[in-house]
């Protein structure tokens, strides 16, 4: 049990995630995310197999758990040409890379203390020290407002809206794609195009809301039911038929 009074004097430090962290890592993922990650994912994280990780620990704890995870971030290096945002980068050499953030989480007792921000800054610092890295990027589900505000505060740019990107417990959810450019990496968008796409995104969102209400009303009639929506899945997955419009700078 964490001593809440002691949090005022906590001393947070960062280290790589280790095999001994696996049990706590799995628990935090279970508490934070609405999905269940495969065992292979956790094994890759603790083994450092194609995954880079940072663990946050509180060195000031007096309960003997001063090396136990209280937060984490995991990421993976991806070649630009193999990524989904290659078109959001100005033309560059084919060996240019990106750092993709996989998961980020902090235990409840340590939230709102700047730990998530510090973890993201560790990722940005790491990416900035990779000469071939052009950007850090990630996805965030549309209803996760705290995360959205966090990335905006850290100067990430929302460059794309992915409609129906996530599928959780039988329901589709949109996602925002955020990018933080490093080492001279830049978006191909001109300021004028960004302004236009903001307007397009706003209108598209409004239209989507109206159509959603109309569809909901007509879906009550048996002859209008769309059987393609009855997808048998109880966990999150990505929708491969998303409306993915280039360079939707909505932030």
pLDDT digits (tens, 9 = 90+) for 82-112: 877 777 676 555 678 999 999 999 999 999 9
Q: How many helices (H) and strands (E) does the chain have?
A: 5, 7
Write b or e for each residue in 164-190: b if 16 or more Cβ atoms lie within 10 A of its Cβ, otherwise e: bbbbbeeeebbbbbbbbbbeebebebe
Please state, in angstroms and rounded to a whole number, the distance separating the CA atoms of residues 174 and 185. Answer: 26
Report domain extents, the chain.
Answer: 5-189
Task: Share the mean pLDDT of the chain.
Answer: 79
Helices of type H across 9-86 = 22-32, 39-47
| Residue (of 171, 203, 183, 188) closest to 135 by Cα position | 183
Mean pLDDT of 42-63: 96
Which residue in this structure is represented by tokens 């973890």? 119
Please state, in angstroms and rounded to a whole number, the distance separating the CA atoms of residues 37 and 26. Answer: 8
- For residues 195 and 22, the model is more confident at 22
Paired sense of beta strands 97-106 and 133-141, if any: parallel
pTM of the model: 0.73
Task: Work out the end-to-end distance of the chain between its first and last CA atoms, rounded to an integer number of angstroms.
Answer: 39
Is 123 within 8 Å of 209 (Cβ atoms)? no
Question: What's the pLDDT score for residue 86?
Answer: 72
Question: What's the pLDDT score for residue 6?
Answer: 46
pLDDT for 15-46, tens place per residue? 999 999 999 999 999 999 988 899 999 999 99
Judged by average pLDDT, the poorest of 87-96, 114-123, 164-173, 189-198 is: 189-198
Question: What's the pLDDT score for residue 141?
Answer: 95
Question: What's the pLDDT score for residue 34?
Answer: 86
> Around 177, how many Cα atoms within 13 Å sit in the side-chain half-sphere?
24
Length of the chain: 251
Please state, in angstroms and rounded to a whole number, the distance separating the CA atoms of residues 129 and 243. Answer: 34
Is 74 within 8 Å of 120 (Cβ atoms)? no
* pLDDT above 80 for 226: no
Band (pLDDT 50/70/90 cuts) for residue 80 is confident
- For residues 250 and 79, the model is more confident at 79
Q: DSSP readout, 69-80?
A: EEEEEEEEEEEG
- For residues 185 and 189, the model is more confident at 185
Mean pLDDT of 45-50: 97
* pLDDT above 90 for 215: no
Select from 3.40.630.30, 3.20.20.70, 3.40.50.720, 1.10.3720.10 the CATH code of 5-189: 3.40.630.30
Most confidently predicted of 77-81, 188-192, 195-199: 77-81
- For residues 69 and 86, the model is more confident at 69
Question: What's the pLDDT score for residue 148?
Answer: 97
Instruction: State whether residue 240 is helix, strand or coil.
Output: coil
Please state, in angstroms and rounded to a whole number, the distance separating the CA atoms of residues 193 and 172. Answer: 29
**Cα dihedral sign for 232, 235, 239, 243?**
positive
């Amino acid at each position: 049990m964490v001593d809440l009074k002691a949090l005022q004097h906590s001393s947070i430090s960062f280290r790589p995630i280790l095999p001994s962290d696996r049990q706590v890592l799995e628990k935090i993922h279970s508490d934070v995310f609405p999905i269940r990650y495969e065992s292979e994912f956790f094994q890759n994280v603790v083994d450092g197999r194609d995954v880079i990780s940072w663990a946050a620990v509180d060195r000031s704890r007096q309960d003997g758990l001063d090396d136990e995870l209280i937060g984490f971030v995991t990421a993976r290096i991806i070649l630009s040409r193999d990524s989904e945002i290659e078109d959001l980068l100005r033309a560059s050499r084919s060996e240019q890379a990106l750092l993709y953030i996989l998961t980020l989480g902090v235990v409840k007792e340590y939230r709102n203390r700047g730990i998530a921000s510090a973890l993201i800054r560790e990722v940005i610092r790491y990416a900035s020290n990779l000469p071939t890295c052009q950007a850090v990027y990630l996805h965030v589900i549309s209803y996760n407002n705290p995360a959205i505000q966090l990335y905006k505060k850290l100067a990430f740019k929302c460059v794309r809206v992915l409609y129906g990107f996530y599928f959780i417990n039988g329901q589709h959810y949109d996602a925002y794609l955020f990018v933080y450019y490093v080492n001279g990496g830049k978006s191909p968008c001109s300021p004028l195009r960004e302004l236009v796409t903001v307007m397009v995104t706003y209108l598209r969102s409004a239209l989507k809301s109206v159509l959603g209400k109309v569809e909901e009303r007509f879906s009550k009639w048996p002859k209008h039911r769309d059987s393609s929506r009855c997808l048998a899945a109880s966990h999150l997955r990505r929708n491969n038929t998303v409306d993915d419009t280039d360079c939707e700078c909505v932030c």
